[in-house]
């Protein structure tokens, strides 16, 4: 009888140990299975989850615009006064709703080539007004003239055309005209063939961006979605040195198994350069744990603050020998037009840049850029890319419309927020297919180890107590 009891207790302890051991073994085996599955589904090829979401955005992508409406145009043009602006918006468009086009797989180089169609659909329900709302904004053609035509003789001739077209430093334009293009009256009078349609984003609708060539990740998952070439080039020629290198993905997805210590790199064709983001916080997005990566202020820092930015400083006068910070001159990739980008309301910019402008209120929460990335898959489930479009205006004694200026202005035109968030249905699907299964496996592992440990300890104690009782 004593033997039977002891044997039963020993057997129970052994079973408990086996169950706990099985739970322990399941951890590395389960992790290995998860890693294998994630790597397989992250490859950009027909049939994978990543490919399906990569071909066409899985969530609605919106581009919101806030226009800087100038309140005192005559004072500025005549007396070189501070520019008083009033922000109006948001005006919202749905973008990236078209699937990638002409997708070509190359099994030898493990790359995928494609074009990205462009289109924008106005969303009245998400906007404060209509596309016909009118604003007083900088005259894009007039402001660019001294930069594009520095010759005194040419400026004198163009000044006649500017006056004859009744054009001034500022103009009234509708939202639709400002964004997507309008026939400029001054340029229409130029006696030789030049483009006469002007707009901040012209041309956009019914055009394509690319060709992009990205790595599929088939041979090396750490390179998945990373851009190999853009329009056949690995380096943007208008930037010197390594600043022109095209680094990272397009921001929609990254290689799986993201670490908090990583730096995520992504390329934006709209602003002609690659950027990077660093870990900011761990948050919960609709029940899914994600890492929030933010664009640090060092991205727009001066070369004195961030030596890596020295090759982005391409002129010495406006930047005051590269000491100013917070703006980036992208005129070389905009056919010489004096376009500068910054964060909205000149967030993190040198105070003297915003000093000639009244009505700005930079705010970290509203004006910073971030990416919310699910760390296991590397999928971006939410993002907000916020940038401001500015134009440099300088005095020009040969052009009457600009003759009254006494100093340079970096005039804000508008700022935008391109944003998307995974939908509720997609979030539930993601949790069921990815995070739910991973959490369930982790729970089973912990239960097996815990139950096994409890059984082992309980039966071991009982066995020892029984032996002690029999010895007495």
Say how many domains are in the chain.
2
- Indicate whether 6 belongs to any domain: no
Residue 82 and residue 201 share a domain: yes
pLDDT at res. 26: 46
H/E element holding 414? strand 409-421
Query: Of 263, 261, 294, 282, whose CA–CA distance to 383 is shortest?
Result: 294
- Indicate whether 155 belongs to any domain: yes
Residue pair 368/346 in contact by the 8 Å Cβ criterion: no
pTM score, two decimals? Answer: 0.86
Residue 112 and residue 37 share a domain: no
Residue 176 and residue 129 share a domain: yes
pLDDT at res. 432: 74
pLDDT at res. 439: 57
Residue 457 and residue 443 share a domain: yes
Residue 314 and residue 192 share a domain: yes
Residue 180 and residue 71 share a domain: yes
Residue 171 and residue 38 share a domain: no
Full residue range of the structural domain in which residue 367 is found: 43-53+60-422
Cis peptide preceding 211, ω within 30 of 0: yes
CA atoms of 375 and 254, how far apart (whole Å): 9
Residue 80 and residue 27 share a domain: no
- Indicate whether 2 belongs to any domain: no
Residue 367 and residue 435 share a domain: no
CB atoms within 10 A of CB 353: 20
* End-of-domain residue from the set 422, 439, 454: 422
Partners of residue 113 on adjacent β-strands:
104, 213
Residue 78 and residue 26 share a domain: no
Pairing of strands 227-230, 208-215: antiparallel
pLDDT in tens, the chain (472 residues): 455 555 554 554 455 444 445 445 545 555 566 667 778 888 999 988 888 888 988 789 999 999 999 999 999 999 999 999 999 999 999 998 888 999 999 999 999 999 999 999 999 999 999 999 999 999 999 999 999 999 999 999 999 999 999 999 999 999 999 999 999 999 999 988 889 999 999 999 999 998 999 999 999 999 999 999 999 988 887 777 667 788 899 998 999 999 999 999 999 888 888 889 999 999 999 989 999 999 998 888 888 888 878 878 877 777 888 888 999 888 888 888 999 999 999 999 999 999 999 999 999 999 999 999 999 889 999 999 999 999 999 999 999 999 999 999 999 999 999 999 998 888 888 777 765 555 544 545 555 455 545 554 554 555 565 656 665 5
Residue 362 and residue 223 share a domain: yes
- Indicate whether 227 belongs to any domain: yes
* Dihedral-angle region of residue 49 (phi above 0 means left; psi in -120 to 50 means alpha; beta otherwise): alpha
Helix intervals (H) in 105-202: 140-148, 152-164, 175-180, 185-188
pLDDT at res. 338: 92
Residue 390 and residue 259 share a domain: yes
- Indicate whether 471 belongs to any domain: no
């Amino acid at each position: 009888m004593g033997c039977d009891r002891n044997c039963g207790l020993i057997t129970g302890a052994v079973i408990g140990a086996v169950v706990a051991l099985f739970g322990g073994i399941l951890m590395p085996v389960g992790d290995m299975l998860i890693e294998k599955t994630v790597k397989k589904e992250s490859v950009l090829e027909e049939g994978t989850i990543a490919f399906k979401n990569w071909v066409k955005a899985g969530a609605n992508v919106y581009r919101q615009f806030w226009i800087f409406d100038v309140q005192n145009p005559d004072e500025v043009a005549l007396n070189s006064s501070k520019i008083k602006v009033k922000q109006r918006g948001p005006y919202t468009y749905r973008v990236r709703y078209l699937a990638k086009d002409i997708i070509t797989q190359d099994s030898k180089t493990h790359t995928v080539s494609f074009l990205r169609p462009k289109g924008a659909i106005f969303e009245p329900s998400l906007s404060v007004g209509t596309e016909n709302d009118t604003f007083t904004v900088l005259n894009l053609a007039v402001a660019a003239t001294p930069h594009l035509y520095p010759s005194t003789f040419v400026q004198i001739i163009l000044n006649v055309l500017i006056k004859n077209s009744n054009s001034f430093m500022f103009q009234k334009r509708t939202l639709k005209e400002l964004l997507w293009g309008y026939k400029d009256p001054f340029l229409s009078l130029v006696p030789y063939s030049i483009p006469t349609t002007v707009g901040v984003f012209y041309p956009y609708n019914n055009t394509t961006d690319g060709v992009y060539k990205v790595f599929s990740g088939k041979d090396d998952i750490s390179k998945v979605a990373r851009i190999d070439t853009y329009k056949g080039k690995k380096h943007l020629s208008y930037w010197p040195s390594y600043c022109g290198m095209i680094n990272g993905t397009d921001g929609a997805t990254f290689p799986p198994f993201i670490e908090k210590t990583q730096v995520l790199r992504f390329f934006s064709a709209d602003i002609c350069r690659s950027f990077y983001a660093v870990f900011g916080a761990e948050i919960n997005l609709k029940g899914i744990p994600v890492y929030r990566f933010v664009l640090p202020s060092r991205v727009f820092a001066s070369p004195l603050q961030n030596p890596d930015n020295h090759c982005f400083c391409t002129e010495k006068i406006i930047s005051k020998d590269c000491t100013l910070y917070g703006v980036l001159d992208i005129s070389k990739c905009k056919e010489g037009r004096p376009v500068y980008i910054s964060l909205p309301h000149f967030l993190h910019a040198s105070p003297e840049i915003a000093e000639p402008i009244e009505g700005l209120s930079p705010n970290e929460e509203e004006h910073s850029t971030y990416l919310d990335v699910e760390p296991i898959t590397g999928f971006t489930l939410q993002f907000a890319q916020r940038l401001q479009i500015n134009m440099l205006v300088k005095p020009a004694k040969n052009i009457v419309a600009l003759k009254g200026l006494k100093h340079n202005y970096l005039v804000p035109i508008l700022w935008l927020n391109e944003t998307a968030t995974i939908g509720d249905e997609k979030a539930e699907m993601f949790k069921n297919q990815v995070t739910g299964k991973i959490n369930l496996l982790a729970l089973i592992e912990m239960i097996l180890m815990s139950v096994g440990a409890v059984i082992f300890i309980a039966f071991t104690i009982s066995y020892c107590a029984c032996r002690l009782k029999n010895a007495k």
